[in-house]
């Protein structure tokens, strides 16, 4: 297994990704050892199917089963490992070649903060203390940019461009760099932290990390998660989560306020637009307004009439909202030209969605 992990490292996999794969492989190897399977050559398709059933029946500390995504995440490193063993001629056949993987659910984020709720959490740190001011800068950065936890702990001082109002994420998920805009308020808190707190936390001049711990080192990912979760708990909100809660909130609020889904995709660093489109189903405000205005089972509203509201919602705002909600680009209308039919190339099939009838070709 160690040689396989070294091979992944030479293929430029991130250290965090290799660490997770190693943990899942060790769980599988320990499970096999407990059942008398001590060598990779002894693993068969039936053994893998038993382990897959073990993951399906496994229960976490809170009594909940592993999701389809979690099961898939634990089985994928095993498939990669056995494929590598075959290529290295360490085993004759790959028992995981035809292993059917569990389906991954299309689940929505469990909790999303409203603007007042987000402000309530941001107000919890005691900004009169050094650590409280640092924590407020951290929360403001998470809320403004929506970056991941590991991306925040990897930030360095020179990654913040105060003049342009941007933040550089270096080697984010998938080892992709991206430039992210930062709001003026978050920049102001970062500047205040840099001027008043960070010099007190530094133990030397050679640490480039932006957010430092009380020991003078870069704050770790696990302590950061505990820190944010504690502030959410102390806010009194009946919602759970940590750093990713601000990521969900930022994406949802931007979509509800009219941001195009592709701009949100660029901010979040998603390689696939489908991943970002999950948030379009959470951004429900525009659909709620349309439902309230058009569904017959409603209470009468004073002021604007129903007809006026329907007319307003069916204009440009309605089109943009529908595009964000369902992830569908507005269909392009076919262009009708005055060119004669005999300009078509021989063998070309007529366009099925064209509104121009295609007749027989003139000789």
Name the catalytic one among 21, 248, 270, 324: 270
- Whether 323 is a known active-site residue: answer no
User: Which two tokens mark 317?
Assistant: 């705002």
CA distance 76 to 68: 12
Alpha helices in the chain (DSSP H): 2-10, 15-33, 45-57, 68-87, 115-122, 130-145, 149-153, 184-196, 198-201, 221-234, 243-256, 261-268, 273-276, 278-282, 285-294, 306-313, 316-326
The strand pairing partners of 65, in sequence order, are 59
Backbone angles phi, psi at 35, to 5 degrees: -115, 15
Which among 315, 316, 318 has a CA at the least distance from the CA of 291?
318
CA distance 327 to 276: 9
Name the catalytic one among 79, 173, 239, 312: 173
User: Which two tokens mark 147?
Assistant: 């970056």
Name the catalytic one among 244, 281, 312, 323: 244
Name the catalytic one among 136, 148, 198, 248: 148
Reduced to 3 states (helix: H, G, I; strand: E, B; else coil), residue 65 is strand
The answer to whether 72 and 104 are in contact (CB under 8 A) is yes
Name the catalytic one among 74, 149, 198, 247: 247
- Whether 291 is a known active-site residue: answer no
- Whether 244 is a known active-site residue: answer yes
- Whether 148 is a known active-site residue: answer yes
15 to 9, 11, 85, 88, 116: CA distances (angstroms): 8, 11, 21, 23, 38
Question: Which positions are annotated as active-site residues?
Answer: 148, 173, 244, 247, 270, 279
């Amino acid at each position: 297994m160690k040689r396989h992990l070294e091979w992944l490292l030479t293929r430029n996999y991130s250290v965090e990704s290799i660490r997770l794969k190693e943990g899942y492989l060790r769980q599988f190897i320990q499970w096999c050892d407990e059942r008398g399977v001590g060598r990779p050559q002894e693993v068969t398709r039936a053994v893998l199917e038993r382990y897959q059933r073990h993951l399906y029946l496994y229960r976490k500390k809170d009594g909940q089963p592993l999701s389809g995504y979690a099961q898939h995440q634990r089985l994928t490193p095993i498939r990669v490992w056995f494929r590598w063993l075959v290529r290295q001629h360490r085993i004759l056949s790959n028992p995981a070649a035809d292993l059917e993987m569990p389906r991954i659910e299309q689940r929505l984020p469990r909790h999303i903060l409203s603007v007042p709720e987000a402000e309530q959490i941001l107000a919890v740190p005691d900004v009169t203390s050094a650590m409280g001011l640092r924590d407020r800068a951290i929360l403001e950065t998470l809320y403004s940019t929506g970056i991941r936890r590991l991306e925040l702990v990897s930030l360095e001082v020179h990654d913040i461009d105060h003049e342009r109002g941007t933040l550089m994420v270096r080697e984010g998920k998938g080892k992709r760099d991206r430039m992210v805009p930062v709001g003026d308020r978050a920049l102001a808190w970062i500047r205040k932290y840099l001027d008043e707190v960070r010099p007190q936390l530094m133990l030397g001049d050679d640490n480039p990390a932006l957010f430092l711990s009380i020991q003078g080192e870069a704050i770790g990912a696990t302590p950061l998660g505990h820190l944010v979760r504690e502030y959410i708990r102390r806010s009194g909100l009946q919602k759970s989560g940590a750093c990713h809660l601000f990521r969900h909130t930022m994406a949802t609020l931007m979509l509800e306020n009219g941001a195009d889904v592709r701009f949100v995709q660029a901010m979040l660093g998603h390689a696939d637009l489908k991943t970002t489109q999950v948030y379009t189903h959470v951004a429900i405000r525009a659909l709620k307004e349309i439902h309230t205005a058009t569904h017959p089972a409603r209470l009468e509203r004073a002021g604007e009439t129903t007809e006026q509201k329907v007319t307003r919602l069916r204009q440009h705002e309605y089109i943009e909202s529908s595009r964000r909600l369902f992830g569908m680009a507005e269909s392009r209308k076919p262009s009708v030209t005055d060119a004669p039919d005999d300009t078509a190339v021989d063998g070309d099939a007529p366009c099925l969605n064209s509104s121009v009838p295609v007749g027989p070709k003139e000789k």
